[in-house]
Structure 1
Amino acid sequence: MFRGYVQIYTGNGKGKTTAAVGQAVRAIGRGFRVFFAQFIKSKETGELIAFKSFGDLIVFKQYGKGFVFGKPTTEDIKAAREGFDEVTAAVLSGEYQIVVLDEINAAVSSRLIESAALIALIRNKPANVELILTGRAAADEVIAAADLVTECKEIKHYYNSAVAAREGIEF
């Protein structure tokens, strides 16, 4: 029987979502069903376009109005919490072996979702579900509850030279 763990990709460097997308593609290649949820993000991303070619092996949903700077709006909170409820149902459904919560750490640090709710999801997930959490600023208590934590550390980034996010590379 497949044993699922909890993975976290966090830190200020590039590559967190890319790591989760890679894990999803690898799992799909082995016939696993994947639920890929993006919190905060609201643009059509390259991964969304690519995932459409995998048919019913992956469900992709976005739950956000964009990144939150400062105090979140009522709409931001509502979108995130409705999404979290749907993701919780997906985790508990038994339909998916891999569930990705992209930018969930940012949703928690932006106060869209309570860290206690995420900890409860980690503790209550079925043993055969791999849970992958991404986003900057993972809470210490979420890190403590995980089985694998990878920090993406920025050494140098072209954003600092005024290079905008590029289609096919950053989104």
Structure 2
Amino acid sequence: MELEKGYIQVYTGNGKGKTTAAIGLCMRAFGAGLKISFIQFVKGRYTSEMKAFEELKIEFFQGGLPEFIIGKPEKKDIDAALKTLNLAREKVSSGKYDIVILDELNVAVYLGLISEKDVIDLLNSKSQNTEVVLTGRYATQKIMDMADLVTEMHEVKHYYTKGVGQRTGIEV
């Protein structure tokens, strides 16, 4: 099965669920027999979806480093993001994938790891039939303007304000 036309989707905002929504779309696409590449920017730690992707043989690449970026990114953070961007550009433009999910790409731009122009160039290079999904807080207006679908997750209430940490299978 192949998509007739691929659109650009953006999941952004300060609420929980952007990556989770992208994983849900990934599972639906997998069930429909679509070819998927799921690429994470910034993240470099184990998350539970990695096991599912491995068992289902869904192509997955994690391009972040294990440490959180606090303050100004280091050269190693920028190098990792640029390596991931180059991989993403290859996947998005190849015509071999029905869906390419670029998880936390908006955060990579916000942190200054890659430029907004790099993302716009990547989106302009996409194969006509490839759906591209960008997740992460802080999507820029230009990126949202390029998108065909923008969903903003808005936090109304979250249990972390009561001291609940990340839970395996829910947040990680």
- TM-score range (shorter-chain normalised) is over 0.9
- For residues 115-163 of structure 1, the C-alpha deviation after alignment (integer angstroms, 9 at most, x for no partner) is 0010111112111000000000001110111000000000011111111
Q: Cα 1:110–1:35, aligned 2, differ >3 Å: closer, same or farther? A: same
State the one-letter code of the partner of 1:145. M
In the TM superposition, residue 69 of structure 1 has moved relative to its aligned partner by 2.6
In the TM superposition, residue 38 of structure 1 has moved relative to its aligned partner by 0.7
Look up the SS of the partner of 1:61 in the other structure. Answer: strand
1:117 matched residue in structure 2: 118
2:159 matched residue in structure 1: 158
1:5 matched residue in structure 2: 7
1:25 matched residue in structure 2: 27
2:103 matched residue in structure 1: 102
1:126 matched residue in structure 2: 127
Q: Which runs of 5+ in 2 are unaligned?
A: none
Look up the SS of the partner of 1:154 in the other structure. Answer: coil
2:39 matched residue in structure 1: 37
Rounded Cα–Cα distance in structure 1 between residues aligned with 2:126 and 2:161: 39
Equivalent pairs counted in the alignment come to: 169
2:144 matched residue in structure 1: 143
In the TM superposition, residue 43 of structure 1 has moved relative to its aligned partner by 1.2
Rounded Cα–Cα distance in structure 1 between residues aligned with 2:51 and 2:159: 25
Amino-acid identity (%): 47
Q: Hey, which bits of structure 1, 4+ residues long, moved more than 2 A?
A: 66-69
1:60 matched residue in structure 2: 60
In the TM superposition, residue 53 of structure 1 has moved relative to its aligned partner by 1.8
Rounded Cα–Cα distance in structure 1 between residues aligned with 2:68 and 2:126: 27
